[in-house]
Amino acid sequence: MTKTNAQAAGPQQDIFAEREPGILLSRLLDECETLFVKKLSLNDRDWARLTNKHQAGVYVPPRERDGGFFPPLVAKERDDPEADEIRETFFDIEWPGVGETRQARLVHYTSKGPETHMTRLPKPAFRDLAPASLIVMGRDRDGAYRAITLDSDGADHEILSDILDLPPDFVSGLFTLRAVRREREEKVLTFIEEVVKAYFNGSIATLADKYGTMPATAELAATARTRFMTEQRLKSMDPFGMAKPGDAIRAISRGVEYEIFKELQMRGRAVELVRLVLGDDPKALTPEKALRSIIVEFPKIDAMLLSAAQQRKSRAGYSFEHHIEAMMIDGGVPFEKQVVIEARKRPDFILPSKALYDDAGRTNKEALVLSAKTTLRERWKQVGQEMKNCDLYLATVDENIAANAIEDMASQGIMLVVPESLKNSDTTEYKKQASVISFKSFFNSDIGTVRWPLWVDRGLVVARH
């Protein structure tokens, strides 16, 4: 993915991010004109910690290799004139995160097809990275290169993703910061004009009322689903009729809905910030008053920005649940949501019903618990107690779960349910894990094949055709 097909982006910070970028990322964004960003595959980072790996560096896709960011490749002189061509180039990269500068080699063995690798990189920059981490390389005005890696579990990873508007399925891309900033500004130009006009004609309070209320999470989720279904020409969210239901949920929740949310939040919070700093009366405004407001009202400004960041995080969890619920409704899957079971535990979904879940005479496969968490970290340990003589499934769109954590979950009987593209991705640890299944497999096999006939016998559903 290059800038030509990347999402609109901009190098400036997202003013509603909870934290500022770290100093290494800030310096890269401030001093470099062009960026190469790639989500690292397992091979791109495992070479730094495992001795049995043949790949000793990062794979660079042909589109980015030939996109004008890297020095041009030249043919290497070879003793055998009939040998397949090897194209290469050497250039220095500063690695401020590990405190050294190294000469890297970008090499394309034409006998192996289009694959090109950047080698001679410092192992410490890659050794401890979690799955789906990023390499970020910048080229400054003098043509010098600088690179850092961003762990997928860190704040800078999330901040850069917001700054560049990286879509959920992002793999790699080149970004010219001046151009992408201009694109972002053009997106909000109409809104800027609306705010300026409202402020100077004395109607900024009315504009604040217009943008001050955020839709409820269920309403926002429904709007995003409608937009996605229209774009994809879908009549429903029935998972049994979709090739990749998990990818659809991920695209809606992390893509479509998040973009709608960010725009609505930016408008509401921006008008609130304008009123806080400038007041409502343009005739009473002076530079001194504006500066005074910034200083005196800083605690309120700080609290407002922190609240905006927290609002984003809480929205993500509710969004994920709403889309899973809509998918089960459209698919005719019976469930109960957020019902209280023993010890005041409240799982996200019980299938097919709490009554059958509580039935001491049922079989193990007749009921199940489905928990939904956009990101796991240590929170997966909370769901292990929700199972009672039934299978426990944990749905997530989290990319950065380590193999040992997946194995720990499996040892406690937890099956992970992930989008299809993540299950088969080279950037995650899911592909070879038997305890990780796709949403497609969950609905078609674990629900449709294993449990549906049992529910038919119970009179809870009708047979599927």
The mean predicted confidence, pLDDT, of the chain is 89
Q: Which region, left, alpha or beta, applies to residue 197 given φ > 0 means left and ψ of -120 to 50 means alpha?
A: alpha
How many angstroms separate the CA atoms of 145 and 139, rounded? 5
Q: Closest Cα partner for 327 from 196, 236, 209, 444?
A: 236
Helical pair 298-330 and 257-278, crossing angle rounded to 10 deg: 160
How many angstroms separate the CA atoms of 165 and 266, rounded? 14
What is the token pair recorded at 323?
Answer: 């889309």
Q: Given this model, what pLDDT does residue 1 score? A: 41
How many angstroms separate the CA atoms of 439 and 445, rounded? 10
> Which residue shows structure tokens 């001046």?
178
Q: Is the pLDDT of residue 8 over 90?
A: no
Q: For 54-58, 227-231, 425-429, which range has the lowest pLDDT when averaged over its residues? A: 54-58
How many angstroms separate the CA atoms of 367 and 92, rounded? 59
Q: Given this model, what pLDDT does residue 176 score? A: 94
pLDDT digits (tens, 9 = 90+) for 52-84: 776 789 999 999 999 999 999 999 888 888 888
What is the token pair recorded at 261?
Answer: 């949310």
Q: Given this model, what pLDDT does residue 192 score? A: 93
How many angstroms separate the CA atoms of 59 and 113, rounded? 13
Q: Is the pLDDT of residue 343 over 80?
A: no
Q: Given this model, what pLDDT does residue 389 score? A: 86
Q: Closest Cα partner for 133 from 60, 251, 34, 37?
A: 37
Q: If you ran DSSP here, which 8-state letter would residue 335 be given?
A: -
Dihedral angle computed from the Cα positions of residues 169, 59, 440 and 351, in that order, rounded to the nearest 10 degrees: -80
> By the 8 A CB rule, do 177 and 26 touch?
no
Q: Is the pLDDT of residue 9 over 70?
A: no
Q: Given this model, what pLDDT does residue 346 score? A: 82
pLDDT digits (tens, 9 = 90+) for 80-135: 888 889 999 999 999 999 999 999 999 999 988 888 999 999 999 999 999 999 99
User: For residue 302, what are the contacts with CB-CB under 8 A and spacing of at least 6?
Assistant: none
